[in-house]
Amino acid sequence: MTWLKPTLLWLALVTLVLGDVVTTTINLDAGMVELNPYMQAVVIDPLLHLVVKILFIGVVALLSYASGRIGHPHAPVAAAAGMFSMPVCWNIVVTLF
């Protein structure tokens, strides 16, 4: 069962990243704007948006590997999953209301 915790964290992170891309695309198609000034040029194209998020997951994987060498391999994945939960929740709230 030791594999369950990191697997669930990675699954949560990937799900949240995909949710972010999908909900952002839906909101942009509905006429809303991207509030993050660094991502405004990227989110116009959903494929480019997905590529940037995949690169982010790669950075998290490298940080996870480096953190594993000092005994905390799951901390970067948990932090990234927590970080991505906010924009997805916000996009869902904005879409519904």
| Encoded tokens for 90 | 């916000």
pLDDT tens-digit profile of 55-85? 999 999 999 988 887 878 888 999 999 998 9
The domain containing residue 9 runs over which residues? 4-96
pTM across the whole model: 0.86
Beta-sheet strands, E only, within the chain: none
Amino acid (1-letter code) at residue 21:
V
pLDDT-based confidence at residue 2 (cuts at 50, 70, 90): low
| Tally of domains within the chain | 1
